[in-house]
Amino acid sequence: MLREPSVAAPIGEQARPTPNLGRLQADLQQFAELGATADSGVSRLAYTPLEREAHQLIARRMRDAGLEVRVDPFGNTIGVRPGRRAGTAAIASGSHLDSVPNGGRFDGTVGVLSALEVMRLLREQGLETEHPLWLVVFAAEEGARFGAPCLGSKAVTGLLTSDDLTRLRDAQGIALGEAMRGVGCQPETLGRERWSARDLAAFLEVHIEQARVLETEGRPIGLVDGIAGNTRVRLIVSGRADHSGATPMHLRRDALAAAAEIILGVEALARDPRRRSTVATVGRIEIEPNNLTTVPGRAVLSVDVRDIDSDRQRVTAREVAQLAYRVGERRAAQVLVELITDSSPAVLPIWLRQHVAEVCTELGIDFRVMNSGAGHDAAVVARVVPAAMVFIPSRDGASHSPQESSSLADIGRGVEVLYHAVLRLDRVLAELEGLG
Ligand SMILES: [Zn+2]
């Protein structure tokens, strides 16, 4: 564990290279073209050929920046810049390149390109570090395709099970393991490669905020304290499909009407003012037979419950299930509850956040400490290696939509913070290791 950092040299003017915003913008544009949608969004789903294309493009950029690149069996792309001290744990930074369907161009990509820009700046400055530096691009961060998020980071931290490879399926019924093999990954090696504190000293992720707190307060940087966990369940409501003309109202067992009642109940649960930080969403519904003249016989709902408080997260998920059973009983519909995925909230280590906070202060960049309602690879990595997250403002808080946007100036500030955080961490850790 890191002790209170001793003297870290103040950041002088010469040692403050300016991020190259032109090349950042050009790269952002290139990635935006991979899976571009008609309304300037991006659809680059987890473990699809388009996601692989984005990884191949970043691998080329990494090699141009002098990194040694490898792709692990789960599709994570890792670029390594050697350090002066062989055998020391690396300092890593990165994010993801997959998106939700018709998502934005900035989610994940900004963190990957910020880490790349740091590597380029170090090279241009002719700087070596004591520790190796890793640029990590995780596969399959978004849970949109398989219901469960952060699959690439979970695979290397022991949080993905072989059961998940067959159990998690996309809307077409394709199992996770099958999809991984389809794009050249080797999911059968799960468990063989696992990251630990011996490999990595710290992981730093720059990310767009995806909300409007920073913009509203006029602050350029957010340092993340806690990251919400999520419990996701599937509710299967079975009623009876009947003729919509011939069946009188009192004899119906309408699965969709029951589902509607459950959806409003879920919203009311999360809006309860005693639950300060809970959010709950029914983001997906499938009905059968989905026909104008048939009383719906079956409805399948996916519910996503998130909280930074793990007790409230689990209690709310349990209450969602109870609510569904109650509605089902009253409406003579059968309700089945299946767990899709469950991950705990993460509290990121204070010492590492403090380290980044001191860098912001030295650079004269205003910041605030905040929670993240959205999940991130950093929360997964934090289970095995100290992790920190740096948020930059999102215009109008828009995210997971084509409207997602962040200014180049804000991206540039994120790069600066990351650049100096990496260099300072390298010095501080080297001093401690020298003492030890
Ligand atoms: Zn993201």
Asked whether residue 401 falls in the same domain as residue 377, the answer is: yes
What separation in Å is there between the alpha carbon of 286 and the centre of ligand 1?
26
What separation in Å is there between the alpha carbon of 250 and the centre of ligand 1?
47
What separation in Å is there between the alpha carbon of 11 and the centre of ligand 1?
30
Cα 295–Cα 301–Cα 303 angle in degrees, nearest 5: 155
What is the CATH classification number for the domain harbouring 105? 3.40.630.10
Average pLDDT taken over every residue of the chain: 95
User: How would you classify the pairing of strands 229-238 and 200-208?
Assistant: unpaired
What separation in Å is there between the alpha carbon of 51 and the centre of ligand 1?
14
Residue 2 lies in a domain: no
At position 140, the amino acid (one-letter code) is A
Tokens encoding 347: 């509290």
Question: Mean pLDDT throughout 85-106?
Answer: 96
Question: Mean pLDDT throughout 244-263?
Answer: 97
Question: Mean pLDDT throughout 360-389?
Answer: 96
Asked whether residue 132 falls in the same domain as residue 25, the answer is: yes
Question: Mean pLDDT throughout 302-321?
Answer: 96
Residue 261 lies in a domain: yes
Asked whether residue 376 falls in the same domain as residue 307, the answer is: no
The last residue of a domain, from among 328, 343, 358: 343
Asked whether residue 222 falls in the same domain as residue 238, the answer is: no
Asked whether residue 383 falls in the same domain as residue 240, the answer is: no
Residue 15 lies in a domain: no
The last residue of a domain, from among 303, 324, 343: 343
What proportion of the chain, given as a percentage, has pLDDT over 70?
Answer: 96
Cα first-last separation, the chain: 12
Task: State the residue range of the domain holding 152.
Answer: 21-228+345-435
Residue 5 lies in a domain: no
What separation in Å is there between the alpha carbon of 376 and the centre of ligand 1?
6
Which class for 159: exposed (0-12), middle (13-18), buried (19 or more C-beta within 10 A)? middle
Asked whether residue 262 falls in the same domain as residue 149, the answer is: no
Which residues sit opposite 367 in a β-bridge? 221
What separation in Å is there between the alpha carbon of 108 and the centre of ligand 1?
4
Tally of structural domains, the chain? 2
Asked whether residue 180 falls in the same domain as residue 309, the answer is: no
What is the phi-psi region of residue 208: left when phi exceeds 0, alpha when psi lies from -120 to 50, beta otherwise?
Answer: beta
15 falls in which pLDDT band (50, 70, 90)?
Answer: confident
428: helix, strand or coil:
helix
Residue 4 lies in a domain: no
Asked whether residue 325 falls in the same domain as residue 358, the answer is: no
The last residue of a domain, from among 308, 343, 378: 343
Size (the chain), residues: 436
What separation in Å is there between the alpha carbon of 175 and the centre of ligand 1?
23
**pLDDT tens, residue by residue, 105-138:** 999 999 999 999 999 999 999 999 999 999 999 9
What separation in Å is there between the alpha carbon of 150 and the centre of ligand 1?
9
What separation in Å is there between the alpha carbon of 385 and the centre of ligand 1?
19
Asked whether residue 431 falls in the same domain as residue 305, the answer is: no
9 falls in which pLDDT band (50, 70, 90)?
Answer: low
Asked whether residue 214 falls in the same domain as residue 289, the answer is: no
What is the CATH classification number for the domain harbouring 280? 3.30.70.360
What separation in Å is there between the alpha carbon of 435 and the centre of ligand 1?
38
Give the distance between the most distant pair of CA atoms in the chain. Answer: 84
Residue 7 lies in a domain: no
Name the residue with higher pLDDT: 3 or 429.
429
Residue 6 lies in a domain: no
DSSP character string of 378-398:
HHHHTTTS-EEEEEE--GGG-
* C-beta pairs of 37-42 under 8 Å, 24+ apart in sequence: 37/102, 37/402, 39/102, 39/402, 40/105, 40/402, 41/102, 41/103, 41/104, 41/105, 41/401, 41/402, 41/404, 42/99, 42/102, 42/103, 42/104, 42/105, 42/402
Asked whether residue 356 falls in the same domain as residue 216, the answer is: yes
Give the full edge-to-edge strand order of the sheet including 298-307.
Answer: 279-288, 298-307, 229-238, 334-343
86 falls in which pLDDT band (50, 70, 90)?
Answer: confident
Residue 79 lies in a domain: yes
What separation in Å is there between the alpha carbon of 109 and the centre of ligand 1?
8
Asked whether residue 333 falls in the same domain as residue 399, the answer is: no
The CA distance from 314 to 299, in Å, is 24
For ion ligand 1, residues whose CB falls within 5 Å: 107-108
Question: Mean pLDDT throughout 192-208?
Answer: 95
What separation in Å is there between the alpha carbon of 86 and the centre of ligand 1?
32
